[in-house]
Structure 1
Amino acid sequence: MGNAPLAGVRIVEISAFVAVPLGTMTLAQLGAEIIRIDPVGGNIDFSRWPVTAAGDSIYWASLNKGKRSVTLDLKSAEGQAIATSLIASAGIVVTNLPALGWLSYDRLTAAREDLIMLSLTGAPDGSPAVDYTVNASSGFPAVTGRGGEPINHVLPAWDVIAGLYVALGIQSAERVRSRTGAGQHVTLALSDVMLATVGNLGYIAEVQANGRSRGPLGNSIYGAYGQDFETADGRRIMVVAISRRHWRALCSATGLTEKLAMIGPMLGVDLESEAGRFAARDAITAVLRPWFASRPADEILTVLASGKVLHGLYQTFEQLVRDDPRCSIDNPMFSTIRQPGLGDVLAPRIPLAFSVSPVPSAVPAPVLGADTDSVLGEIPEPRERVGLGH
């Protein structure tokens, strides 16, 4: 890992759930050394679903690949003192626990003045929130589905985005320290992540400029043409035509150019524009649907690919793992790792590729507490070994 982008960076993590573990794992995949401290027996997320038949958490193992694991009695003064020494030695700590008491920035900077600390909270005032509650107020459930009731998406989008902000925040603060020598306390709130994303995607300005927002569209695409179609063998394919080139490719590949061209004059819209295709989406879909319904998925996929039509085959997680050639050892992003509790599993490295600083392949998540002795033995100042998770 000596040539990896973040080689030589050491970070202590005290966290649970998705955002912080994902953010620090991202840094680990870039070559940083991540030391996760958990209470004895594991934190609240140690047994979170999905789990194996034996009860081992696939969730925990997947979000903690490439880290080192230390367990301490964090409720004891001794365990807190050891954790403080380890944080001071590393110089960077990331947490989504309340930054209070021994874990407060003021207390930790007494042990290391140039400490970098990133604290993730639910809301800016420190009140709790999770992805599911933040999502409910984001506006997205109201425009997901076909209307009638709010629909939650199952992707923990706000946690994932927050995790990447965590990684970016740490790298930014570390760069400041490398230039100026100054540490700092970086704060991030999950609700702010949601608000920033909603604003950056134009949803806030849309309401202010137009006095309203869009409604639910099912699987259509707002402001352009996109629709899902069922094939003769019961599969579903998503087709998208955003640019003029995309639209012409779809018309040509399906052999329906002349029929589709009739829609524009009939409805008084310009099908060469995104707005026109969006306005005529129902009519376009009515012309296209029989073409898809009369052919099996494999034939359609071949035609669309050769015609350079934007498309995607809907598939389950099982189909993704079993049938999709991108999700295989043939993809250089993946490698097979032997994960304790899970066996041999396919695991991705970070999807970034660097021409000069190669990133390491995936590394298994540690056994809980397995690195306690070795990590604490690396703390510069010898300390009495009490409060350990043994």
Structure 2
Amino acid sequence: MYPLLTPLRIIEASSFVASPTAGLYLSQMGADVIRVDQIGGGPDYRRWPKTDAGASLYWEALNKGKRSVALDLANPEGRELLAALATAPGDDAGLFVTNFPVDGFLSHETLAKRRADLITVRIMGQADGGPALDYTVNCALGYPQLTGPASLGRTPVNHVLPAWDLLTGAYAAFALLAAERHRRLTGGGQEVRIPLSDVGIATVANLGMLAEVLETGADRERLGNEIYGAFGRDFLTRDGERLMIMAITPRQWSGLVAVLGIGETVADIEAARGVTFARDEGVRFEHRDALYPLVERAVAVRDAGELGAALDARHCCWGRYQPMSAAAHDPVLVGDNPIFADIDHPSGRRYPAPGAMATLPGLPRQTAVRAPRLGEHSDAVLADVLGLGSGAIGALHDRGIVAAAIVADS
């Protein structure tokens, strides 16, 4: 956590991955992010993975550091409170992140009547307002036909990382800050719409892959664990460890050749084929039919620990394959990593939680803050942001418009 965005106040009305991710990143950089949910929780409040008691580890991970307000959004009075929070006055307020539909009570046009300089960042499925999720976007982009070994033919393989959700969330956080800067310069608010499908296809284009298929008229071949256009693949060591070994730069390639003691054979291949592998990663890829078996044999007679140390000494690029259960206890990734801190969570569990992924050497890192309990800050936010007195807040509770924290989630 870093206080870079203090005292920005952002109202978030969202669910699932992309929109909560935007709020999470903004919170981790110091913004006061207030998540507003339906009383009892929105559609993602019980999402897997869960504890045995039913508390969502997913929900408490994506909502760290935020404040929580619980309202009856099926009631016009509850909707009015959410609209009032989103459009509350203040130079550092009037910032709204949502994945609610374009139309309805949270439309930008409706909200902007209450505050003309409102900034709404709206995450959408498709640009035309149609629904889309990460998997439905991914299947349309062609990546499932590239994932997995060539033996699968054209059978699609969905990867498990919700990449488009995460990219969209990060882009939404960036877009909100860009719009906020524009408002400071011009005084004008605006709506920023970010469709998941547009993030997906734009990313494909930004990586040159759209131009590639237009240029070649064909889909890229399936490569399994091989890295397209460079030297990189998984290799098995003598003691049964599987390592991902890459050589992108000339230094990495020369180091790998030296560590494996294959310099003479590599020179013979270069001479026979009239090429040099020293400078161009693409040439190494083109001649992988000769290089991969050579490296495979050299790695197969080495133990992982000894080989890894030798690769490190020559500044080579490699990684050890390990299950997530091992990554969770990895001292470099988690145990000794300063972005993590052991904290108590609303689920009743205590486990490491990350703060900001960025490190700012000039600022002290603040400990990660747990997610709120649903409705934990309802009263405080209504008092501080909307100026409601205790009597008015009590009356809202009596009518079931507002709910306080659910202490025991089971």
TM over 0.5: yes
Match of 2:116 among 100, 113, 116: 113
Supply the AA of the counterpart residue of 1:292: V
Equivalent position of 2:408 in the other structure: none
Equivalent position of 1:340 in the other structure: 346
8 Å contact from structure 1 (residues 339, 365) kept in 2: yes
Q: Equivalents in 2 of 1:103, 1:77: separation in Å?
A: 12
Supply the AA of the counterpart residue of 1:64: N
Equivalent position of 1:284 in the other structure: 291
Q: Secondary structure at the match of 1:22?
A: helix
Equivalent position of 1:23 in the other structure: 22
- Structure 2 gap ranges (5+): 405-410
Q: CA deviation at 1:358?
A: 5.0
Supply the AA of the counterpart residue of 1:278: F
For residues 1-49 of structure 1, give each alpha carbon's deviation from its aligned partner in whole angstroms, at most 9, with x where no partner exists: 8x71100000010110000101110000000001000101101111111
Count how many residue pairs are aligned between Structure 1 and Structure 2.
388
Q: Equivalents in 2 of 1:265, 1:142: separation in Å?
A: 36
- Structure 1 gap ranges (5+): none
8 Å contact from structure 1 (residues 115, 183) kept in 2: yes
Greater shift after overlay, 237-246 or 27-36? 237-246
Q: Equivalents in 2 of 1:86, 1:388: separation in Å?
A: 13
Q: Equivalents in 2 of 1:340, 1:192: separation in Å?
A: 35
Q: CA deviation at 1:105?
A: 1.1
Equivalent position of 2:71 in the other structure: 72
Q: Equivalents in 1 of 2:207, 2:348: separation in Å?
A: 39
Equivalent position of 1:92 in the other structure: 95
Equivalent position of 2:180 in the other structure: 174
Q: Following superposition of structure 1 onto structure 2, how do residues 178-189 of structure 1 map, counting pairs within 5 Å?
A: 178-189=184-195
Equivalent position of 1:315 in the other structure: 322
8 Å contact from structure 2 (residues 341, 353) kept in 1: yes
Return closer, same or farther for 1:359/1:178 CA change in 2, 3 Å cut-off: farther
Supply the AA of the counterpart residue of 2:43: I
Give the alignment's TM-score, normalised by structure 2: 0.91
Equivalent position of 1:388 in the other structure: 402
1:206 and 2:212 correspond = yes
8 Å contact from structure 2 (residues 331, 337) kept in 1: no
Match of 1:136 among 124, 139, 151: 139
1:125 and 2:128 correspond = yes
Greater shift after overlay, 15-24 or 103-112? 103-112
Aligned-CA RMSD value: 1.7
Q: Equivalents in 2 of 1:215, 1:47: separation in Å?
A: 40
Supply the AA of the counterpart residue of 1:296: D
8 Å contact from structure 1 (residues 31, 360) kept in 2: no
For residues 221-269 of structure 1, give each alpha carbon's deviation from its aligned partner in whole angstroms, at most 9, with x where no partner exists: 1111111101122221011112222211110011111122222233443
Q: Equivalents in 1 of 2:67, 2:186: separation in Å?
A: 29
Q: CA deviation at 1:276?
A: 2.2
8 Å contact from structure 2 (residues 85, 386) kept in 1: no
Q: Secondary structure at the match of 1:12?
A: strand
Supply the AA of the counterpart residue of 2:99: N
Match of 1:377 among 358, 367, 383: 383
8 Å contact from structure 1 (residues 5, 359) kept in 2: no
Q: Secondary structure at the match of 2:384?
A: coil
8 Å contact from structure 2 (residues 102, 129) kept in 1: no
Q: Equivalents in 1 of 2:350, 2:287: separation in Å?
A: 50
Q: CA deviation at 1:381?
A: 4.3
Give the alignment's TM-score, normalised by structure 1: 0.95
Match of 1:163 among 147, 169, 176: 169
Q: Equivalents in 2 of 1:61, 1:315: separation in Å?
A: 25
